[in-house]
Amino acid sequence: MKAILVVVGDEILLGQVVDTNASYLGQAFAASGLELVSKWTVRDREEEILEVLHLAMSKADLIVFSGGLGPTSDDLTKPLLTKALGGHLVRNQKVENAIKTWFEARGLEPGPMNLAQADLPDNCTLLNNPLGTAQGMLWLHHGVHVAALPGVPYEFKHIVDQELIPYLKTTGLLRPMVHHTLMVAGLVESSIARILKAWETKWRPEGIRLAYLPRPGLVRLRLSLYANECDESLDFVLAAIQGRVQLAAQEIKDLLEGYVYGENELSLEECIGLILKRKSQKIFFAESCTGGALTARLVRVAGASDYVFGGVVAYTNELKVNFLGVKEEVIIAQGAVSTEVVAAMAQGAALRYGTDYAVAISGIAGPSGGSVDKPVGLVCFGIQGPQGTYAYHRSLGAGRELVIERAVMTAMFLLWRVLIDQPVMDS
């Protein structure tokens, strides 16, 4: 079943509101075997709304409108769709009473514009909205389903989950599909593509599609497979394609061993937290150029206090000596940004604060502070673990915020490899 989303609202096009309904609907539909094939955002203008309605009617089996159902004069969706789909607005007594109750519960009196939200099309199915005063509507017109939902995100989501998708499932029009996502760190998109070339040749003819979804410092690999039309029962078909996708995913995991740290949206900080929690071990952070961003990333995970003992931002040499016991001679001889100093920082941190692991970062985030030997973007990482001390240096490009973000991601990747006893060994 092909679906098109039409988002109505000047505020979206002016960038005053980030549209989160679209990604929510995309995910909910993908998980239900509905294909969202495109999304159009239009202004609060009659002719533009009608134009996309007609265009979408020729392209999709389902059109979902989001927004424009409020009580004010720029809310055009309801009267326009009602008329275009051959109906009339009629006062719905039950909904009118619900609106009165909704306002009374908040100690308010509904105005005529609020009550007019009970004027509803006489040719649609209502999609109940217990969270607000705008009802959802669903028409079936010349074989195309047209739904209109309020744009307020929690109302939109509620109606999608509780009303729209359950209804669509009863139609038998959804094509079953399975998807599975692998989380990859430490490799860029193009390197992954090179490694997976033979895999793609093997699995593409089977209908498995592979999407590269990059995030800063990560690539998510999404495998997906639609079921073909067949006579078998749906459960049987889903189990079969699930099996194929798992097999294909396992081959990727083998090909990218040491880089696939998890599955299905697990973040690297959650992955690290799970390992430390399982081992009942603790960690300490000693950050210079990242200024606390690594510690903050780990602490963002609920329950981090179980394994994050603490951290220091040793932004000056003085603090590297005082907090971490780094010898001043080493800093003078090698410079604060050196593998020797980060190794000493990590060792000192684990020793002084009594943790199993410690991670140290020192680098040149820029824009100033670089030299020929040590250019902007050079970042050193020290990791202390039960097996010893590891030190690395990496060139992370330019742009202060980017260097910091990449340093955080790189540190987490290197730490993860130490945690799983496969430390990265620089040649």
Subset of residues 214 to 243 that bind its own copies, contact rule: CB under 8 A: 214, 220, 222
Binding residue (CB under 8 A) for its own copies from 118, 314, 407, 412: 314
Least Cβ distance, residue 199 to its own copies (angstroms): 13
Q: Cis peptide before 121, with omega less than 30 degrees from 0? A: no
Q: Give the pair of three-digit tokens for residue 255.
A: 């090909």
**Does 175 sit near its own copies (CB under 8 A)?**
no
- The answer to whether the CB of 230 falls within 8 A of the CB of 237 is yes
First vs last C-alpha separation in the chain? 52
State the minimum distance, in angstroms, from the CB of residue 113 to its own copies: 6
Q: State which of positions 102-141 bind its own copies (CB under 8 A).
A: 102, 105-108, 110-111, 113-114, 131
Within residues 154-173, the interface with its own copies by CB under 8 A covers: 154
* DSSP reduced 3-state for 302: coil
Size of the site for its own copies (CB under 8 A): 100
Give residues 40-59 in contact with its own copies (rule: CB under 8 A): 40-43, 48
Instruction: Work out which of 237, 238, 255, 299 binds its own copies, going by CB under 8 A.
Output: 299
Q: Can you tell me the distance from the alpha carbon of 223 to that of 209, in angstroms, rounded to the nearest whole number?
A: 6
String of contacts with its own copies for each residue 56-75, x by CB under 8 A? --------------xxx-x-
Candidates 19, 163, 270, 356; binder of its own copies (CB under 8 A) is 19
- Residue 424 in contact with its own copies, rule: CB under 8 A: no
Contacts of 16 (CB under 8 A, 6+ apart): none
Tokens matching residue 109: 């009196």
- Shortest distance (Å) from residue 383 CB to its own copies: 18
Per-residue b/e over 281-320, b at no fewer than 16 CB within 10 Å? bbbbbbbbbbeebbbbbbbebeebeebbbebbbbeebeeb
Q: Based on the shown chain and the rule CB under 8 A, indicate whether residue 207 belongs to the binding site for its own copies.
A: no
For residues 403 and 408, what is the distance between their CA atoms, to the nearest angstrom? Answer: 9
CB of 336 to its own copies, least distance (A): 11
Question: How do 125-127 and 378-385 pair as beta strands?
Answer: unpaired
- 341 is a contact residue toward its own copies (CB under 8 A): no
Check residue 26 for interaction with its own copies (CB under 8 A): yes
Task: Evaluate whether 381 touches 358 at the Cβ level (below 8 Å).
Answer: no
Per-residue binder mask for its own copies (CB under 8 A), 245-284, x = binder: ----------------------------------------
- Cα-based distances in Å from 337 to 9, 295, 352, 384, 415: 51, 19, 21, 17, 19
Contact flag: residue 211 with its own copies (CB under 8 A): yes
What's the closest the beta carbon of residue 157 comes to its own copies, in angstroms?
A: 12
Closer by beta carbon to its own copies, 124 or else 225: 225
